[in-house]
């Protein structure tokens, strides 16, 4: 019988920035805590591994052909996550042993696109340890476009967990109604929104999505600290001088399907937040509004979603 109630964990982390191995160690430690607390699902923020490109707005990153930006980008590539190379295998194994579902934001180095461009990707790992989906952010925001490539719709998928179906989006994707609708149409009733951090990013949209979809909504943001920048970063001293002690304050939260807070936005401290949620509350709230069901009019409006993984080349073998 499918579980009516599940326990969710929100990992408001201070990631190790631009050091993949050290960052993964920190993520594994937090995962152990969530397992000990009996979590069925654990969520980490956007770009948790190997970190958000915080230097862009602090270093005139739009300067064309700038040797500093080239050096930092090359280092970012080296520290990014290559899924085919097994960089997440220790995390996958921990999920397999614990029977834990996990969602984490990474900066992905994608061999299927040549291996030298980066994507802000949301990875879902199932309890069996397999990678169930990789959603590449469809449109990086503002200066993110200087280092992150444009993604596609391949990862717009939902996943079962007990009686729930969960899906997720990266940061400002959550403001895009058609992307949200693509998840609602697949039966999503637990929505995951990941952020680089800061309460002002997620406080309003978390409750809005909950009320619009009549779903639970988890928002998880990181705390970006200057002390967590790897000294191996090119031009480290110069960047450090331009960074605040704290560059984002988390703001992780959880709203119920009526839009009310279950966990109010938390600003400041590193924390592993947990809550038990019941699918019955979803069914109760869908009585008066179900945006993909009885309150939809597919005879009038419908959405077409291209979920092909985009590529520059298709090879036909003999």
Q: Which residues are catalytic?
A: 46, 137, 171
Mapping DSSP to helix (H, G, I), strand (E, B) and coil, where does residue 192 land? strand
In whole angstroms, give the CA distance from residue 295 to residue 297. 7
In whole angstroms, give the CA distance from residue 13 to residue 264. 17
Largest interatomic CA distance in the chain: 60
CB 218 within 8 A of CB 191: yes
Q: What is the DSSP string of 41-66?
A: EEEE-TTTBT---TTGGGTTTTSTT-
Residue 226: how many CA atoms within 13 Å on its side-chain side?
13
Mapping DSSP to helix (H, G, I), strand (E, B) and coil, where does residue 274 land? strand
89: its two tokens: 């295998």
145: its two tokens: 């476009």
Handedness of CA 246, 260, 139, 30 (dihedral sign): positive
């Amino acid at each position: 019988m499918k579980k009516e109630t599940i326990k969710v964990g929100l990992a408001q982390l201070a990631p190790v920035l631009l050091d993949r191995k050290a960052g993964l160690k920190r993520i594994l430690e937090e995962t152990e805590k969530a397992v000990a607390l009996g979590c069925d699902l654990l969520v980490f923020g956007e770009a948790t591994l190997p970190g958000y490109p915080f230097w862009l707005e602090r270093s005139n990153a739009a300067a064309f052909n700038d040797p500093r930006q080239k050096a930092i980008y090359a280092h970012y590539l080296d520290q990014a996550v290559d899924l085919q190379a097994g960089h997440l295998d220790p995390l996958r194994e921990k999920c397999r042993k614990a029977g834990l579902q996990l969602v984490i934001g990474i900066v992905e180095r994608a061999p299927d696109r040549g291996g030298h461009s980066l994507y802000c990707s949301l990875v879902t790992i199932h309890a069996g340890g397999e990678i169930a989906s990789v959603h590449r952010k469809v449109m990086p925001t503002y200066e993110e476009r200087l280092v992150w490539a444009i993604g596609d719709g391949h990862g717009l998928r939902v996943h079962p967990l007990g009686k729930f179906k969960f899906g997720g989006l990266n940061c400002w994707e959550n403001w895009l109604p058609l992307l949200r609708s693509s998840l609602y149409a697949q039966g999503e009733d637990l929505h995951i929104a990941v952020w680089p951090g800061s309460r002002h990013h997620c406080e309003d949209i978390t409750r809005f999505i909950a009320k619009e979809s009549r779903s639970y909504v988890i928002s998880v943001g990181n705390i970006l600290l200057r002390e967590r920048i790897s000294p191996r970063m090119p031009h480290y001293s110069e960047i450090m001088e331009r960074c605040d002690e704290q560059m984002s304050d988390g703001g992780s939260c959880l709203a119920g399907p009526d839009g009310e807070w279950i966990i109010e936005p938390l600003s400041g401290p590193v924390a592993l937040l947990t809550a038990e949620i019941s699918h019955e509350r979803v069914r109760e709230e869908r009585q008066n509004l179900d945006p993909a069901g009885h309150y939809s009019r597919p005879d009038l409006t419908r959405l077409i979603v291209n979920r092909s993984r985009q590529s520059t080349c298709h090879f036909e073998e003999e």
